[in-house]
Amino acid sequence: MTWTITIAAQKLDFPAKCACCLAASDGSLKCSASVSKGKRVVRTTTKSWDVPYCCRCLAHRRQHVGAGGWFQAAFGVGGGVALGGILIDKGPVLLLVGLAIATLALARAFALRNAARAAMSRDCAVPGSAASYLGWHGSEQSFAFARQDYLASFRDLNGRKRQSAVGRGRRIRG
Ligand SMILES: [Zn+2]
Ligand SMILES: [Zn+2]
């Protein structure tokens, strides 16, 4: 569950606090979004914002995102190779290799996910990303935050700009 908001602005201020644990920020996370336009010639525009974070939370977030990559590898690479072994005649070796890859990748994914959880402080909101740039429409910028109190500070800081009401969004992936 996240809290979402849209603000009409080209320039935004972010609270100098970590978006995950609210401690004083000593780092930042680049949150970007891309929009693709055109059918024959596709032009992709990417915009990003630096959201303040503390180093501790940047570290556990990196581990959590890394775990996601290993989960994908387990199912994508390991699963794909194993499936290849099932589909071709006399492919038991391939099947075993695929299962071995999947097992190793899953072990790595769970280890990283547990490490991310263990590295969280009591004040942390989520093991993964606590802020996400959802994209823009003209000058309107949309964000999702894991913390309602962080969003409240963000709204205060940008109080002069036109803002939407706070909405509810899905959990941030990664
Ligand atoms: Zn933090
Ligand atoms: Zn944290």
Read off the pLDDT of residues 6-35 as tens digits, 9 standing for 90 and up.
999 989 999 999 999 999 999 999 999 998
List all residues 6 or more positions away from 71 whose beta carbon is below 8 Å from its beta carbon: 105, 106, 109
On whether both 66 and 104 belong to a single domain, the answer is yes
Is the pLDDT confidence value at 109 over 90? yes
Q: Closest-lying ligand to the alpha carbon of 126?
A: 2
* 51-78 exposure pattern, b = at least 16 Cβ within 10 A, e = fewer: bbbbebbbebbebbbbbeebbebbeeeb
* Cβ < 5 A residues, ion ligand 1: 18, 20-21, 23, 54, 57
Residues spanned by the domain of 104: 59-118
Residue 37 lies in a domain: no
Q: Write down the residue that tokens 């992936």 correspond to.
A: 173
On whether both 71 and 97 belong to a single domain, the answer is yes
Distance 150 CA to ligand 1 centre (A): 12
Residue 143 lies in a domain: yes
On whether both 67 and 95 belong to a single domain, the answer is yes
pLDDT at residue 87, as a whole number: 86
List pLDDT tens digits, range 32-68: 999 888 888 889 999 999 999 999 999 999 999 999 9
pLDDT at residue 111, as a whole number: 96
Where among 102, 118, 134 does a domain terminate? 118
On whether both 77 and 113 belong to a single domain, the answer is yes
Residue 38 lies in a domain: no
Distance 45 CA to ligand 2 centre (A): 30
On whether both 99 and 132 belong to a single domain, the answer is no
User: Do 25 and 158 touch, CB atoms closer than 8 A?
Assistant: no
Distance 86 CA to ligand 2 centre (A): 43
The model's pTM is 0.84
List pLDDT tens digits, range 86-95: 888 777 888 8
Distance 151 CA to ligand 1 centre (A): 15
In total, how many domains does the chain have?
2
Rounded distance between C-alpha atoms, residue 108 and residue 114, angstroms: 10
Q: Closest-lying ligand to the alpha carbon of 116?
A: 2
Q: Closest-lying ligand to the alpha carbon of 55?
A: 1
